[in-house]
Amino acid sequence: MRNELHSSFILHRRPYRNTSLIIDLFTLEYGRIGLVARGARSKKSNLSGLYQSFIPLLVSWFGRGELQTLQKIEPAGAAFYLTGKSLYSGFYINELVMRLVHRNDPHSVLFDTYFNTLKKLQTTPNIEVLLRNFEKCLLQEIGYGLLLEYDANTGEKINNNGYYLYQSEFGPVRVTDREQSGLIVSGQTLNAILNEQYDTRSLAEAKKLMRREIAHHLGNKPLKSRDLYLQQQNVL
Give the lowest-confidence range in 17-31, 146-160, 211-225.
211-225
Residues 222, 186, 211: CA angle, nearest 5 degrees: 5
- The β-bridge relationship of strands 184-186 and 163-167 is antiparallel
Q: For 32-54, what is each residue's pLDDT tens digit?
A: 999 999 999 998 888 889 999 99
CATH superfamily of 2-75: Nucleic acid-binding proteins (2.40.50.140)
| Residues 105-130, mean pLDDT to the nearest whole number | 96
The whole-angstrom separation of Cα 89 and Cα 96 is 11
The whole-angstrom separation of Cα 220 and Cα 105 is 23
| Residues 87-102, mean pLDDT to the nearest whole number | 96
Q: Check: CATH 1.20.1440.120 for 84-230? A: yes
Residue 188 is which amino acid? Q
Tell me, what's the pLDDT at 45?
85
Q: Identify which of 155, 154, 137 has the alpha carbon closest to the alpha carbon of residue 146.
A: 137
Q: Identify which of 63, 66, 55 has the alpha carbon closest to the alpha carbon of residue 1.
A: 63
User: Quick check: 1 pLDDT over 70?
Assistant: no
**Spans of all domains in the chain:** 2-75, 84-230
Residue 54 Ramachandran class (φ > 0 left, ψ -120 to 50 alpha, else beta): left
